[in-house]
Amino acid sequence: MDNTDIADLKATHASLSAQISAAESQLAALKESLHATEKLMRSTNGPPDESSPQKWPLLEDEYKRYGRQMIVSQIGLQGQLKLRSSSVLLVGAGGLGCPAALYLAGAGVGTLGMVDGDRVEESNLHRQVLHRTRNVGKYKVDSAIQYLEELNPHPTYTAHREHLSPQNAPDIFAKYDVILDCTDNPATRYLISDTAVLLGKPVVSASALRTDGQLMVLNNPPSVPGDSTGGPCYRCVFPKPPPVDSVVSCADGGIVGPVVGTMGVLQALETIKVITKSPVQETQVSTTGDRPALHIFSAYNNPPLRTIRLRGRRADCAVCSSNATVTLHTLRSGSTDYVQFCGSANSPQLLSAQERISASDYKRISELKESCTVIDVRDQTQFGICKLENSINIPITQLMNETATNTDAVSHVRSLIFPDATRADEKAPIYFVCRLGNDSQLAVRKFKELGFDRNGERFVGDIRGGFKSWKAEVDPEWPEY
Condensed to tens digits (0 to 9), the pLDDT of residues 314-371 reads 999 999 999 999 999 999 998 899 988 987 555 567 899 999 999 999 999 999 988 8
Distance CA 408, CA 406 (A): 5
Q: By C-alpha distance, which of 331, 1, 65 is closest to 172?
A: 331
Per-residue confidence at 40, pLDDT binned at 50, 70, 90? low
Q: Residue 5: is its pLDDT beyond 90?
A: no
- CB contact at 8 A, 394 and 416: yes
- CB contact at 8 A, 225 and 56: no
Of 108-112, 244-248, 308-312, the one with minimum mean pLDDT is 244-248
- The three-state secondary structure class of 399 is helix
- CB contact at 8 A, 138 and 181: no
Which segments are annotated as binding site for Zn(2+)? 233, 236, 317, 320
Provide the mean pLDDT of the chain: 88
Q: Residue 280: is its pLDDT beyond 70?
A: no
Please give the share of the chain, as a percent, with pLDDT higher than 90: 70
Condensed to tens digits (0 to 9), the pLDDT of residues 370-413 reads 889 999 999 999 999 999 999 999 999 888 887 766 667 677 78
pTM greater than 0.75 (yes/no): yes
Which segments are annotated as binding site for ATP? 95, 116, 123-127, 140, 184-185
Q: For position 50, what pLDDT does the model report?
A: 45
Burial of 472 (0-12, 13-18, 19+ CB in 10 A): middle
353-474 is a CATH 2.60.40.10 domain? no
Condensed to tens digits (0 to 9), the pLDDT of residues 163-198 reads 999 999 999 999 999 999 999 999 999 999 999 999
Report the amino acid identity of residue 198: L
Q: Residue 48: is its pLDDT beyond 50?
A: no
Q: Residue 461: is its pLDDT beyond 50?
A: yes
Q: Which residues are catalytic?
A: 250, 434
Per-residue confidence at 283, pLDDT binned at 50, 70, 90? very low
In angstroms, the Cα distances linking 310 to 217, 238, 247, 277 are 11, 11, 23, 20
Q: By C-alpha distance, which of 62, 59, 111 is closest to 86?
A: 111
Distance CA 161, CA 146 (A): 14
Domain layout of the chain by residue ranges? 86-282+289-342, 353-474
Burial readout 165-197 (b: 16 or more C-beta within 10 A, e: otherwise): ebebbeebbeebbbbbbbbbebbbbbbbbbbbb
Sheet with 87-91, strands from edge to edge, namely 156-160, 111-115, 87-91, 178-181, 203-209, 212-218, 293-298, 305-309
Compare 363 and 285 and report the one with higher pLDDT.
363
Burial readout 388-406 (b: 16 or more C-beta within 10 A, e: otherwise): beebbbbbbeebeeebeee
Condensed to tens digits (0 to 9), the pLDDT of residues 215-266 reads 999 999 999 999 999 999 999 999 999 887 667 777 778 899 999 999 999 9
Q: Residue 271: is its pLDDT beyond 70?
A: yes
| Assigned CATH for 86-282+289-342 | 3.40.50.720
Which segments are annotated as binding site? 95, 116, 123-127, 140, 184-185, 233, 236, 317, 320
- The three-state secondary structure class of 111 is strand
Q: For position 304, what pLDDT does the model report?
A: 96
